[in-house]
């Protein structure tokens, strides 16, 4: 397995309003997708189990989306690298 350098959070920011708008739109769309998947998990019927916990469903939704990204684009995708966090130093 090859380790790739993950860009630092401040390396992802530019002094460009167009980039900031694009990044903000991407975040809004990702949040909307997480909300849709979370709502789907919340509405999934349970047998005799406890009621769904929204935060647990939200974390599961993010994990599902991260896995879908890794499956579609590989572990080297920027999204997978950002979700993995900075490499241990």
> What would the pLDDT profile of 16-63 be if each residue is shown by its tens digit?
788 888 888 888 998 999 999 998 888 876 665 566 788 988 999 999
Which residue did the predictor score with more confidence, 1 or 84?
84
Q: Which helix (H) or strand (E) holds 83?
A: helix 78-84
Note whether residue 14 is domain-resident: no
pLDDT at 87 over 90: no
Which residues span the domain enclosing 37? 29-42+52-89
Quick one: pLDDT at residue 27? Answer: 86
Quick one: pLDDT at residue 41? Answer: 86
Note whether residue 2 is domain-resident: no
DSSP state of 49: S
Note whether residue 21 is domain-resident: no
Note whether residue 7 is domain-resident: no
Quick one: pLDDT at residue 1? Answer: 36
Note whether residue 20 is domain-resident: no
């Amino acid at each position: 397995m090859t380790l790739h350098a993950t860009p630092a959070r401040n390396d992802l920011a530019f002094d460009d309003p167009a980039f900031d708008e694009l990044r903000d739109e991407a975040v809004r769309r990702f949040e909307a997708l997480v909300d849709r998947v979370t709502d789907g998990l919340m509405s999934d019927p349970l047998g005799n189990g406890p009621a769904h916990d929204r935060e647990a469903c939200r974390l599961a939704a993010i994990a599902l989306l991260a896995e879908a990204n890794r499956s579609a684009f590989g572990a080297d995708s920027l999204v997978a690298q950002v979700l993995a966090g900075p490499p241990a130093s």
